[in-house]
Chains A and B, each alone.
Chain A
């Protein structure tokens, strides 16, 4: 018989940061495959099942709105009794506040949610957990995203992705919208998370439990969806367009779709383009 092991945390204890897209423009559009209420009830069941799996599991929910994002639920604050009630109440408050911020400028078409903001918040929280002690559950981020990518957030999102990569936090993506999200494809690819666009959004709960409930330890042993194709295209810094080919600053690596006299990020002066080939650079 072996002496009692001094291991203090089981392998499968996880800290799950769930980012929920609350963009009203997306949920009211035809792109949304299922009503928000149905989506929410499936997600809530998923959160319950994560907390059921291990008493040390922790779930943190961040709402991603159109203009702001906020923590709306933290399972470590105790009170198992009114889990759903507290979450829904906070969510409602958040949506109202988010709407008030919106009144100033009108958005045309489906606006994009503030994914960069909520990713940063999730990473900040994870950093705080990392620093709070030597013992912590294994963190991962799950983005439940529906609305389109906002090319304007390109730099901020890429920065978040790289800092997640540095701190070894996988970003899982569950894309509910009708289109693939290039940002999230890259995020999951770079951080080693799972990217999935459910074929039948009605059965969201089954997708969530089958794929996204897998703790990091079990991922070594289970079959999970493999990345099919990743859209690596970048956005230009000047017009926030997604481009295949463009100009790139040799000093700070900023990307532009047109030739400029000087770099808007670092101020380096560019020479005149001799030929089209010399300064253009294909992103891969």
Chain B
């Protein structure tokens, strides 16, 4: 049975997989050059910086001399990445030696940046315009709420409020593809990927959705390179500042509307103009690491007797826990459940293969969302639970 795996690496893997012509076009935008440079492995960044003012091709043997014997593997990874991103062009000169040249456009844009310093992509709203802007905290809450709402909607939860969801059903179908499987008579069920998806952290989930959004863009008549460049540009905006929607072109305007539904952007109508305010989700988009401040506080306490206490009011959290635990009762701010054999079996029926990966997801989910009180302890999840959750399954077979 072919398995669909979610590869939630990062934005740049997607950029790297673009066809050469599109990639070259992307490098005309200085922000993309900047974002791409930042996404590279440390050694690759270093090479680019070192070669920025070297106009002749640099031979591979010279490049090798920069590295200590310990770094040989890292060096190869860095050079491969540079070639893959077409930042380096590999040439073979007359003496049969491999040489590398930096992408001309990329080089020019970075030189410009180094001399002049970075400029923001567009000017934020002038201070003299009186529009009440949400505070950063409000904005974070808005983003979290919007995202949660979207996820509930995505998994077709009965709990999803029938709010004014403007994401078109066809769009939703695209996102659901791979995550849900439709069986006859029954309602849609989570596939293995969907199961893993729900247990990932927000950044990884966001990235998965954005990836689907981008790969689907051609069907909507939007050039994927344009979309990527806009999304990358967005991450250079300042969180919480309002930007005029008039500065966007038509494609970007529809994109902004879609992103607002995901909680990446908050739209605000002023007296004359409308504004868009990027939230933390948008500005973190090109960063592949999870920012400490975007990390939500944990809420789960697991006891050695497999009982589970979740201090949360969120319906989404309840839905997620339901995937592998029996919810016993729900209080206004507390969900109590227990991880049982039956529930785990149930989770792994319906085509979800009981392989190690999914189990790891349950355990890592419990660890990552540990309540601050237990998170201080080592281990945050009792050892017998981390050991036995996988064991439960294998003992059955």
**Chain A interface residues toward B at CB < 8 A:** 1-4, 6-12, 45, 48-49, 51-55, 80-81, 83-84, 135, 205-206, 209-210, 213-215, 217-218, 220-223
Contact = CB atoms under 8 A, between A and B. Distances in A.
B364 A3 contact: yes
- Give the dominant DSSP class at A's interface: loop
A104 B200 CA distance: 66
A224 to B, nearest CB: 9
A81 to B, nearest CB: 6
In the A-B complex, the 7 residue pairs with the smallest Cβ-Cβ separation, listed nearest first, are A221-B71, A3-B364, A12-B42, A83-B117, A48-B114, A80-B118, A209-B49
Interface stretch (B14-22, B62-70, B130-138, B274-282): B62-70
B119 A209 contact: no
B232 interface: no
Q: Which of A135, A206, A221, A223 has the most CB of B within 10 A?
A: A221
Given A3-B364, A4-B200, A84 B117 contact: yes
A80 B34 CA distance: 14
A69 B260 CA distance: 48
Given A4-B204, A215-B42, A218-B46, A223 B66 contact: yes
Given A81-B120, A222-B67, 15 more contacts: A1-B5, A1-B6, A4-B290, A8-B295, A10-B289, A12-B42, A48-B116, A52-B37, A52-B118, A53-B49, A80-B117, A81-B117, A206-B50, A218-B43, A220-B68
B64 to A, nearest CB: 10
A3 B200 CA distance: 8
Contacts of A206: 50, 53
A80 B117 CA distance: 7
B378 interface: no
Contacts of B110: 52
Nearest to B9: A1
Given A1-B357, A3-B361, A55-B287, A209 B117 contact: no
B74 A221 contact: yes
Contacts of B7: 1
6 contacts: A4-B8, A6-B367, A12-B42, A80-B120, A218-B42, A223-B68
B289 A48 contact: no
